Amino acid sequence: MAQWRAGRLSARRKATYFCFLLIFCGERINCLMEKTYHLDLKTVLEYLWGKSAILRTTIALAKNRQPCQGYLFLRGGNVIQSYVLNQAGVLLLSGQPAYTQLSSASEWQVRIDTDPVIEQEMFKLVQQYRLPFNPSNSNPSPSAPQQKRPLNDIQLQMFSPKQSLLLRTVFALINGERTVAQIKMQLNFPSESIEEALTILRSLGYIE
């Protein structure tokens, strides 16, 4: 009798574990899968409020005979970057001009995921097509930025060795006292490259 009860309890535990496993896998699959929405951009953004996601669509620009690919990247429901590329992967529009053109689209492929995954996918696109990176919700460089958390070596692997070196070098000089101007004076890098590094570090939450 005792063995039968133990076996029954073990079976229940296995069933419970299996249910939790199905739930976990289902949630992860939902994150990885894209869903198509036949809605205007305003409605889609309202639905995605508070979420991080990648939005893709196809639009036609007057100056291009072939359809163009549009991308919107969301973090916490806020648009942090917009791009429009032609079929060859050449950048046509970015930032606010791209967002303005994309706002007329009514069919969107949406992928919802975590902040790090969405940011990683955005930087992959930036690296692949050599796109400009200037998040629309980033703040100007403060006079004396300070570190918020250590660098993540795995996350830095998405950048080229040269860019990774620049990010590490700039990050090492940030101490809450050294100004941006002083950092630029100490480094043998173009001013624009240092500003871009600061923007990336701030966007990824490493500095403030």
To the nearest whole number, what is the mean pLDDT of the chain?
A: 80
pLDDT one-digit tens code per residue, 79-136? 888 999 998 899 988 888 888 889 889 999 999 998 888 888 888 898 888 888 766 5
Q: Which residue has the tokens 């299996």?
A: 18
Query: What is the model's pLDDT at position 9?
Result: 45
Once rounded to an integer, what is the mean pLDDT over residues 57-84?
A: 86
Same domain, 122 and 159: no
Query: What is the model's pLDDT at position 112?
Result: 93
- Tally of structural domains, the chain: 2
CA angle 55, 58, 62 (to 5 degrees): 130
In this structure, of 67-76, 83-92, 110-119, 177-186, the range with the lowest mean pLDDT score is 177-186
**164 in a domain, yes or no?**
yes
- Residue 64: band (very low, low, confident or very high) from pLDDT cuts 50, 70, 90: low
- Residue 182: band (very low, low, confident or very high) from pLDDT cuts 50, 70, 90: confident
**190 in a domain, yes or no?**
yes
Distances (CA, A) of 52 to 101, 112, 124, 128: 21, 6, 16, 21
**17 in a domain, yes or no?**
no
Once rounded to an integer, what is the mean pLDDT over residues 3-18?
A: 51
Give the residue numbers spanning the domain of 92.
Answer: 35-129
Output the 3-class SS for the chain.
CHHHHHHHHHHHHHHHHHHHHHHHHHHHHHHHCCEEECCCHHHHHHHCCCCEEEEEEEECCCCCCCCEEEEEEEECCEEEEEEEECCCCCEEEEHHHHHHHHCCCCCEEEEEECHHHHHHHHHHHHHHHCCCCCCCCCCCCCCCCCECCCCCHHHHCCCCHHHHHHHHHHHHHCCCCCCHHHHHHHCCCCHHHHHHHHHHHHHCCCEC
Q: Which of 129, 163, 188 is the last residue of a domain?
A: 129
- Residue 137: band (very low, low, confident or very high) from pLDDT cuts 50, 70, 90: very low
Same domain, 162 and 97: no
Same domain, 50 and 94: yes
